Structure 1
């Protein structure tokens, strides 16, 4: 049941004659009404999404949320691993929302294929299961988000926008549980692996604070506002985090920290 979305309802018309207001923020008809121009997901170039789920009702729910937000564009849907493979090869997309347990296999295979065929794209798992081992395996394969169905976490378009802008999106109660698990694992000096302790020591307290906010999906501007520092200073902290953890992207830094219990 592979199909591309039709014209997306609810999108604000693009201004005529190429005129756009010279303002710091872009205005949209749908909430939130203010969206910074420097973030990915604008009227003229929304974030393109591929949705893979064998639950027809869930697909409708997610599709409606994505189509109601002018910053996201649903380009295709699939209901199985087989259809998902075709969609990955046939469509250009920025973010894939994928269920792990499909009728003909595991969504892990699609994450693996996506990272090979479309390395610049991001994957968010949408699953009824929140087994820690499955979550960690998804992150190891390259997923940058994990949302538990029927759990409050915000909305799907917001999750898509978070990962498209370099963040990570995890259902809050799941993120809390993972953090508690890693805190327990690395809490005692006798139990924490030596490499994890060394990596933790290499990050300053402020860098750990910035990394936690990056993990929660905040942009540099939002982090700067919260910490009362400039966004340039935040970016400098992030570059130092990349260098110390030997990673290249925000998603890799968050995944590295989660896997090693750095916070």
Structure 2
């Protein structure tokens, strides 16, 4: 049976603390804080420096993993600054901004920004550190309200794109003789069965004809198809 002192000197036990220390070093995020004024830069630097997981880079150090840009507003000059940083460094970009419009979130993302915080929303250094660590890992960081604003903007852009795409399709709208006859009868108030009898078609053929028009031109329903054909002067 081994002596207790021998067990305490085993390689596994001696190696464990060294492994934990190495892991802590690997998780360290190096940060370069840049601001419009010295007060903002000093305040943001002190908040980040309070965390053992953050190391503020000096000018003589290697390039930082994260660049935190502190600005009052995201004007065109600041957007140019972000574009320059993206072109000249591989660092992840984080923006801390006082005033931000909803449409500027996408503009910042286009310039390479991964994380955004409003200065007025920073309630503790923990929140700021969590944001920087997230960005440092290559992931995006947005508070809940900015996520909602971004999703709303994306939805509006998508809807605008779909409407523009639909107008282009409608501009090329053409109808066969059968489609014109069916839509014309429909515009006069005739039911499907009546149209089938008038045109000597089966009810199934009439439905298939209408389905073809609405599907081909991304129309919502038969009424939409009739209205579009009338506006285009096709019936």
Q: Give the TM-score normalised by the residue count of structure 1.
A: 0.47
Match of 1:135 among 73, 83, 105: 105
Q: Distance in 1 between matches of 2:134 and 2:80?
A: 23
Change (3 A) 1:188 1:160: same
Partner of 1:150: 120
Q: Distance in 1 between matches of 2:40 and 2:34?
A: 10
User: Where do residues 50-65 of structure 1 align in structure 2 (5 Å cutoff)?
Assistant: 50-65=32-47
Moved over 6 A (4+): none
Gapped regions of structure 2 (runs ≥ 5): 1-13, 167-235
Change (3 A) 1:171 1:116: same
Change (3 A) 1:171 1:57: farther
Partner of 2:68: 97
C-alpha displacement at 1:133, in angstroms? 3.4
Partner of 2:136: 164
Q: Bigger relative contact order, structure 1 or 2, given CA contacts below 8 A and separation 6+?
A: 1
Please say if 1:173 is aligned against 2:155.
no
Please say if 1:71 is aligned against 2:56.
no
C-alpha displacement at 1:75, in angstroms? 1.0
C-alpha displacement at 1:60, in angstroms? 3.2
Q: Give the TM-score normalised by the residue count of structure 2.
A: 0.51
User: Where do residues 119-134 of structure 1 align in structure 2 (5 Å cutoff)?
Assistant: 119=90, 121-134=91-104
Change (3 A) 1:176 1:152: farther
C-alpha displacement at 1:162, in angstroms? 0.3
Count the aligned residue pairs.
148
Give the alignment's Cα RMSD to 1 decimal.
Answer: 3.4
C-alpha displacement at 1:187, in angstroms? 6.0
Please say if 1:106 is aligned against 2:106.
no
C-alpha displacement at 1:178, in angstroms? 1.4
| Structure of greater Rg | 2
Preserved contact between residue 62 and residue 156 of structure 1 (Cα < 8 Å): no
Please say if 1:118 is aligned against 2:89.
yes
User: Where do residues 197-216 of structure 1 align in structure 2 (5 Å cutoff)?
Assistant: none
Question: Deviation per CA, 1:47-101, whole angstroms, max 9, x where unpaired?
Answer: 111111124443333222211111111114xxxxxxxxxx5x9751110011345
Preserved contact between residue 40 and residue 70 of structure 2 (Cα < 8 Å): no
Change (3 A) 1:100 1:138: farther
